[in-house]
Amino acid sequence: MDATIYNVNMETLTDRQTSPLQGQRILLGISGGIAAYKTVDLARKLAQAGTQVRCVLTEGATHFVSATALQAVTGVAVRHSLWDEAAEAAMSHIELARWADTLLIAPATADVMARLAHGMANDLLTTLVLATQAKICIAPAMNGQMWRHAATQANLGLLQQRGIEVLMPESGSLACGEVDTGRMPEPASIVDWLAGLAVPPLWQGKKVLITAGPTVEDIDPVRFIANRSSGKMGYALAQAAREMGAEVCLISGPTQLTPPTGVTFVAVRSAREMFDAVQAHFVGTDLMLAAAAVADYRVEQIAEQKLKKQGEQSLTLTLVQNPDIVAWAAAQPNRGKVIAFAAETENLITHAQAKLQRKGVDAVLANSVADGAGFDQAQNQLFLVSTQGVHEFPLTHKSYLAQQVLSHLASTYS
């Protein structure tokens, strides 16, 4: 089985009420690179995500991170030697190898990668790699030239061929003072990556189209009309769909968010631009999640120059309707499932049921935005309204909520 190489930048799972990592046993192997200083926080975040964590240090790692600190955040003694007489009297390294669900090596230095690639077992960590049947994951970190060296890349290829999961190093400022590729991703990103590996591929081989964020309708060169939306829910859905194996197209209005890695991303501004993008990417879609806050109206005539205040006189703008993107998608022949979103300030379920009938969609995901709830927040609560009834998704972090929604839709529609 080929390994997958990931490069991630996403919201952290450690803030979720429940994580796909809940109950997982993680054996954290730490090798001797400067990035080892991050592993105390990494162990803490893994524990916050509901995992059991045990740590193993190489000899080099003991110069960068304290076993005492790691024990303090995990509650378990740290191992660093095959020659620990008390532990090895009962073949403790074999017990460790069998205990783990996942063996994560972070950071993985060039030296450790070379020894793993060639099957060496000359310390506790490399011995555990050979002795375990657990999933093995590595997060390489090193100087940029070392990373690009032909030997390192050849070793990486061997590890990939054996099914080892690899989290690619990031670009940035390195310990040597250079700006290059070789940084180990931040602990939160590593936890999210592991969580993504734990999500069942419920949408494998499916095409998912997601709209997100607000649309912006210009009045003049400096003013516009827009709906409130951070885009967080739509981006979380795109990330979760990708984690579940889908081919994802994310069409987004202006946000401050970084698109998830591995999705087709289309940036738009206005409702008409979003409509054009949806039409261009809709064919073959198995599931459309219309999470964008699309402006219902636009200014009939955009002023070429900035409008000036006219004394005490009021300003009248003539507005015309924008295309109804969701209704268009729902009316297409031989389409996949189309799920609309409804943000309401009152009568949430009643308005969602009316939207369900009016738009001709398969279901509506509704949330209350009374008193600003849901806007720019990390958490959200949704109700799935369909002809079968109402299904509630309780208040939780949007990233985990997205996984719940897609898991439910997979069981219902896929």
Q: Which residues are catalytic?
A: 176
Dist. CA 241–CA 405, nearest whole Å: 10
Q: Do residues 381 and 395 touch, judged by C-beta distance below 8 A? A: yes
Please report the DSSP string for 296-333 in residue order.
SEEESS--SSPPPP-TT------EEEPP-HHHHHHTST
DSSP 8-state symbol, 258? P
Q: Do residues 260 and 10 touch, judged by C-beta distance below 8 A? A: yes
C-alpha closest to that of 165 among 131, 200, 198: 198
CA-to-CA separations, 299 to 39, 199, 315, in angstroms, rounded: 53, 44, 13
Number of C-beta neighbours around residue 364 at 10 A: 27
CB-count exposure of residue 177 (10 Å: 0-12, 13-18, 19+): exposed
**Ramachandran angles phi, psi of 6, nearest 5°:** -120, 155
Report which residue type is found at 308. K
Contacts (Cβ under 8 Å, ≥6 apart) of 172: 179, 183
